[in-house]
Structure formats: C-alpha cells, structure tokens
A = this chain, B = another copy of it.
Amino acid sequence: MQIIDGKKVAAEIKAEIALEVDCIKSSGGKIPHLAAILVGHDPPSETYVAGKVRACEEIGFKSTLVRFDNDISEETLINAVHNLNKDADIDGFIVQLPLPGHISEQNVIESIDPAKDVDGFHPVNIGRMVLGMPSFISATPAGIIELIRRYEIPTAGKACLVIGRSNIVGRPLSNLLSLKGYPGNATVTLAHSKTSNIPELALKSDIIIAALGSPGFITGEMVKEGAVIIDVGITRVKSDLTRSGYKLTGDVKFDEVAPKCSYITPVPGGVGPMTIVSLLRNTLLASKQRISG
C-alpha cells in the first residue's frame, strides 16, 4: 500500500513553477499575474483567498486582490470582471464563491473571459474539457488527475467509481477519466444520492473517488484488495483530540481501507494541497497562451 502524498507533490509542483517563473524573469518575460475578486468578509473565503495570494507570492507570481462590500450590485461586480478581462497585465483571475444571495453566480461566471477563467468554471471551459480539448480544468479535478499521473496509476480499462456528481468535482472527473488518453480510458460509473447500491458498485471498482462529503462513508468492507482510493471529502468533525476542537475528516475510513489498497490519499495531506497548485498551473498556462475563448 502506498500513500499518495499530495503535500509532497504540491510542493514539487510549486518548486517547478517557481523555477519556470525565475526563467521568465531572467529572460525578461512577463511575470504571471493572478487576480482574485473577493466580495464581503466570509471567514472561509478570506482564508482561501489569502492562501491563494500567499501561494502566488511564494512562487514569484504577481497577485492582485480586488475587494468589494457585500452590498455590491451584480452590475458593478460584472463591470469589475470586464475590467479584469480587458486588463492586459492580468493573465487569469477568479471570483471567490459563494457570492451574496442577490447576485447570480452563473451570470458572473459567464462574464469572465474564458481565456482568463483559471478556475475553469465557465461553460466554455467545461464544454471544451468534456470534448477533450485544451481547457482550464477546475482545481480539485485537475489536482486529482495530476496525482494519478505523478504516481503513474494505470487507468485504461479500469472500473472507476466516482461518488458525487457536483459540477466542480464528481462530474468533471467522471468525464476526464473516461476521455481517450492518460489518465483516462477508464470505465467510469458516476454514483450519487439516487444510487441505491453504492457498496456493491464500490466492491467491484478498481478506482474509487469519494466526493460526497459524508465522513467515513467508505468502509473496509466496500473496497476490494488492490483498489486505488482517492478521498475528496473534507468535513469538519468535532474532535476532543485537537486544539481547535474539530478535525478534517475524509469520506473514507482510512484505518480500515488503507490496508487493502494499492494507493490511497490521506485526509488531510492528499487531494487538498493540490487545489491551490492547480490554480497556479492554470495561471501559468494562461500567461503563456490563450487556450480558449
């Protein structure tokens, strides 16, 4: 059994990007520049955006944070998006979700120039991804695909069960893993809340990607010998064992499942650390070429 060390891989990728940024700087090229729009003061959003800005600084990107109060109108926010679309120095940008209830997230997402949509949420990028064309792939699926690639985990012809059909994790992964090429060519089943026989499906699967947000859902009995387990769950569960009073818990009962696996991602330290580096990779890509739009 091998633990997929997302923390280590994420650090490697950051170092690779930092090296590339050094090369760009020393050759006088344009330094990649990521902008983020943050509306309001939602504490988790503050934390996420701060993490993204810090990661940019660490690897030598420029970063810009554009802040608005919670009462911003949709029109003003979309105007801010248009300004970033037009700003030649900004290679890519994100609008941190969630947005206040009076603003349509979809309208805002669709106002982003797809060539700068480094979160990969614009329908053009999703459509291009589904068609197997170059596109910005959103952070979590891109991170998982990269872990599979770096650990050289075989996927062709494998029975792959993706549990959870969210638009930002399960559904894109189900499409990516069934595309031609590597990592891909898997026979993917997409399970969700209406699927009644998940344990039976899981037991027949070579690769299980658990992205349902239900702590400890996948038990040892549901996993066959040699399976590959990717745990996307990160639920805050109360705990007496930590100073903060809670701990991040995955969708997989790690202690039961790990001994049966060929590969498994821990929580924390598996998929999580890959998400920010996926965003950085997309920004580097955006700075090199317009891949869609």
Q: How far is the CA of A174 from the CA of B177 in the complex (A)?
A: 13
Q: Is the CB of A190 within 8 A of B187?
A: yes
Report the Cα distance A167→B106, complex, angstroms.
24
CB neighbors of B among A196-242 (8 A): 196-197, 201
Question: Smallest Cβ distance from A128 to chain B, in angstroms?
Answer: 5
* Closest-CB distance, A140 to chain B (whole angstroms): 16
Q: Please report the C-alpha to C-alpha distance between residue A106 and residue B122 in the assembled complex, in whole angstroms.
A: 18
- The docked-state distance in angstroms from the alpha carbon of A124 to that of B178 is 20
A51 at interface by CB-CB < 8 Å: no
Distance, CA A171 to CA B186, complexed state (A)? 13
Is A175 in contact with chain B by the CB < 8 A criterion?
A: yes
Are A195 and B187 touching (Cβ within 8 A)? yes
Q: How far is the CA of A165 from the CA of B176 in the complex (A)?
A: 12
Partner of A133, one of B106, B156, B165, B187: B106
- A residues near B (Cβ < 8 Å) are 106, 122-128, 130-133, 156-157, 159, 165, 167, 171, 174-175, 178-180, 185-192, 194-197, 201, 292
A-B contact pairs, 11 of them (CB 8 A): A123-B124, A123-B127, A125-B127, A126-B126, A130-B171, A157-B194, A174-B190, A178-B192, A185-B194, A187-B201, A189-B189
